[in-house]
Amino acid sequence: MDKESKRQNTEIKGYTILGKIAKGGMGEVYRGIHQGLNKEVILKKLISKAPPTFYERFRREATIMMEISHPNVVHLFDYFKEDDSSYIVMEYVAGFNLSEIIRKFGKVPVYLACYIAYEIAKGLECAHQKEIIHRDIKPANVLISNRGEIKLTDFGIAFKSSREEEEAITKKGALLGTPAYMSPEQISSSKDVDTRTDLYALGVIMYEMLSGVKPFTNEFSMENVVNIKKGKRKRLRSLNKNVPYTLNAIINKMLNPKKNKRYRNITEFKRVIEKFILFKFKDINSIKDKFALLIGDNENKPDLKEFDYSNIVIVLTLISAVASPAAAAIIILLFLRMFFPGVLFSFLFPNYYGLVGINIVDNREIKYYDLKIIDYDNRTFFKKKGLTDKEKLTLDNIALRPNQYKVELDIRDKKYVTDLVARSYKTSGKKTVDFKIANVEKTLFSVYSYVYDDLGAPANNCKLYYRSGVEKGWNILLREMNLLNGTKYDFKATSDGYFDAYINGIDIPREQKSLALKFYLIEKNAKVNLLNPYIDLDMKINGGSKYLLDQRGLKTGSIRKLSKDKTIFLKKGVYKFDFYNKKKNIRESFKISLNKGDERDLLFKYDEINNKLHIEAK
């Protein structure tokens, strides 16, 4: 058995070798485990017979990677020599490279491609700040973990622009890089590059992700070199109509053959692409978790449409172009209200409306359904009835003012009722109500009651009551019990520290066999009265400014200055209030513990002689 084959399941300087991943003319790549840390790693080996310039590049790659410490760059753990060979030990990333992702999707959805480019840009920004230019940015050198993390790797031909040693390593006229991703200046000379060269290569990657093909071929032919230097390529939107004009312009700027017409640096591009992503996603980091679900083996994968660019924006742009500003505003509002109420209320009126989605799932065809949303005064705010042969029906983006409602669904011979707490979109985002229709084989009229707190967790220590339409007093209701059908009922759920929840006026026809009730109890938030502030005070609550506008917590407010009596509401917990007045050089902190339903007064007294603020809780 030769020396190299013995590397299988053997050791190299404290690393257990698990197997060989790849082999080239001058080196090999192994997967191994650090024995002391029990951490999986990659060992990159340069064989002893490699020319001196290869050794110098290998050593330089390790030196450069040692300087970079960033979540979007593969981490270097070690560099050493063993048996006349050199080794680099790097972080092992379980997952894929970007080439595999492009093959998997064909065309990567718009916002997913932008997220990947944004994460690559963060890694490049760190490298560029240290004057390190990668020079070989391509999909094969972008790793994507099973957790959705994006990491740059292979700094084999990277160089530090401030070092003179590049002269000895890169001979004049030598070409280093991968042709399809090389900028015009890099083709002219691998030394005549700066950070905008990496930016150009990132533009090629974005083009490839969105179109599924490279803008240029991967060969050093005269025709290809001329095309690269002239920027002659197929228009991106001719290959993918879903690419918005804004993003198309961003990529065209990155791929400009004249580097002085590209973005000045990777940071400028990062800000532009971040702004584009934030137009749809409030939190860019949330994309990572969805990406992980998308590329993993799990069954509950997010819908790819979630990462597409919305056609709403295209329509709004056209309206703005052909109408006067006032007319365009009215047309846009009517258009959004009719076709995209979710956009209208979530973006324009986030604190005045809540958005609700209703899912109806049946194990048979739904056929006829009748659904309505009413408040406790029996006023109808939404109703929908119809026929469908589907087994799942979604009624999306129903806009409701913050309040407590009940949702009634009549389907076949059964009625389903659920309590609904609609908070403002700004407070809790979109709310979803699920109806799962099951064939419950019960005799006569059976009531099934479920009680949850407003976060969806089962509520403990609660009591249930019912009364018929002719009764004034309440009767105890068990979680499962039979009642007489053919009459009207009111139902109530109570629990200490919560508002009572009611489902009233439910008509039970004689043929009805069952009723499923869902109650959602709203916690009574603590009430805090801030009284007698003799001087203007800046204030913070647990380091922030957010509080609740009412005891039910349906709306969120913000307070930074206190100049008169103010009442706020807070969830149970311990709070630190910080009060200060910079002009008078006053700063005072006060801690208070609040339980559900508490009402506390904070009294302020200002001692002018000693310039001291006193706070008392009652």
Q: Give the pLDDT confidence of 425-467 residue by residue, as tens digits.
A: 777 777 888 888 765 444 467 888 889 988 888 887 899 999 9
> Whole-number mean pLDDT of the chain?
84
Residue 374 predicted with pLDDT over 70 = yes
pLDDT value at residue 410 = 87
Yes or no: say if 47 and 26 are a contact pair by the CB < 8 Å rule.
yes
Active-site residue list: 136
Percent of the chain past pLDDT 70, that is, above it, reads 87
Residue 222 predicted with pLDDT over 50 = yes
Yes or no: say if 552 and 525 are a contact pair by the CB < 8 Å rule.
yes
The top-scoring range by mean pLDDT among 60-64, 208-212, 472-476 is: 208-212
Closest CA to 184 of 134, 229, 135: 229
Closest CA to 516 of 443, 444, 409, 422: 409
pLDDT value at residue 325 = 63
The top-scoring range by mean pLDDT among 299-313, 319-333, 362-376 is: 362-376
Distance between CA atoms of residues 474 and 491, nearest Å: 9
Q: What interhelical angle do 245-254 and 266-278 show, nearest 10?
A: 170
256: confidence class by pLDDT, cuts 50, 70, 90 = very high
pLDDT value at residue 171 = 53
pLDDT value at residue 7 = 47
pLDDT value at residue 120 = 97
Contacts of 596 (CB under 8 A, 6+ apart): 496, 497, 498, 523, 524, 525, 526, 572
Percent of the chain past pLDDT 90, that is, above it, reads 40
**Count of C-beta atoms within a 10 Å radius of residue 495:** 19
Q: What pLDDT, in 10s, does the model give residues 119-175? A: 999 999 999 999 999 999 999 999 999 999 999 999 988 988 765 555 555 554 456
- The domains located in the chain, with CATH, are 5-91 (3.30.200.20), 96-292 (1.10.510.10), 311-339 (no CATH), 354-521 (2.60.40.10), 526-617 (2.60.40.2890)
Closest CA to 487 of 510, 513, 459: 510
49: confidence class by pLDDT, cuts 50, 70, 90 = confident
Burial category of 502 from C-beta neighbours within 10 Å (exposed 0-12, middle 13-18, buried 19 and up) = middle
